[in-house]
Amino acid sequence: MKKTTTLYNILALLAIIAAAQTILLIFIKQDVSTEDKKSDNQIIQVASEKTDIFYPVLHVYDGDTISIDKDSSTERIRLIGIDSPETSEKYREKECFGEEAAKKAVELLSGKKIRIEADPTQADGDIYGRSLRYVFLEDGTFLNQKMIEEGFAKEYTFKESAYKYQKDFLVSQEEAKKAKKGLWNKCNE
């Protein structure tokens, strides 16, 4: 009887050890696959960064990329959910309405301070080292959406990854198209 009880105890202990190893392997595999995704896409998920801190705009590169002074260092920001036409041939060919989009961003942002907001459904940054953020002016203007509303940018969903304001941006884009605003009037879209 003691041998049977001891055998059952040993088998139970082995089952517990096997279960613990399986759970550990699952966690290790998840960490590895997350690391693989990070290295493949150069992304890191973040918690939503939404503060009441306003940062001075240092430079406007084009309609969807700016730099700010954040805690005494320069941070480049790529606006989430929009794609404005290119103005430089450095990375891609210049696009129709690119200069106008850049000028509009300069008009809205020159000498201004902005509040930034991260989106936990999106990466923290892109492969160019820019932080991905929503941008709000001190007067409450939501820059990302305004650029779409006025036809200076298109709605942009990265790798079909839905984001916080996606539905609003798509509605704004349809309204801009119907009203033939900005690039929807000047370019063959």
The residues assigned a catalytic role are: 78, 86, 130
The secondary structure of 65-98, three-state, reads EEEEEECCEEEEEEECCEECCCCCCCCCCCCCCH
3-state DSSP: the chain helix, strand, coil percent, rounded to 5?
Answer: 40, 20, 35
Integer Rg of the chain from CA: 24
- Consecutive H or E run containing 9: helix 2-41
